[in-house]
């Protein structure tokens, strides 16, 4: 069973998560030859204050 972990800074809407999940599932099913029902996707929403880039904590978009 393939599983995919996606981490994003901030949050996504349910619609965005559904579209991402469908797209990722389609790619894995097609390219890896796996049945779509076997693809498990985890979406982790991480607060900007918990992510740093180039030594600086991210600032949430306004």
What is the CATH classification number for the domain harbouring 47? Answer: 3.30.429.10
Indicate whether 62 belongs to any domain: no
The mean pLDDT of the chain is 96
Give residue 16's pLDDT: 98
Nearest to residue 61, comparing CAs of 5, 4, 8? 8
**What is the domain count for the chain?**
1
Segment 32-57 shows an average pLDDT of: 96
The answer, yes or no, to whether residue 50 has pLDDT greater than 90, is yes
Domain containing 36: what range?
3-57
Indicate whether 27 belongs to any domain: yes
The answer, yes or no, to whether residue 4 has pLDDT greater than 90, is yes
Indicate whether 25 belongs to any domain: yes
Give buried/exposed letters for 13-48 (b at 16+ CB in 10 A, else e): eeeebeebeeebbeebbeeeeeeeeebebebeeeee
Give residue 61's pLDDT: 87
Rounded CA-CA distance 34/29 in Å is 5
């Amino acid at each position: 069973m393939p599983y995919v972990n996606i981490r994003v800074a901030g949050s996504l809407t349910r619609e965005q998560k559904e579209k991402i999940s469908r797209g990722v599932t389609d790619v894995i099913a097609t390219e890896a030859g796996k049945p779509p029902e076997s693809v498990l996707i985890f979406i982790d929403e991480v607060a900007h204050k918990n992510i740093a880039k180039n030594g600086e904590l991210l600032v949430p978009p306004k």
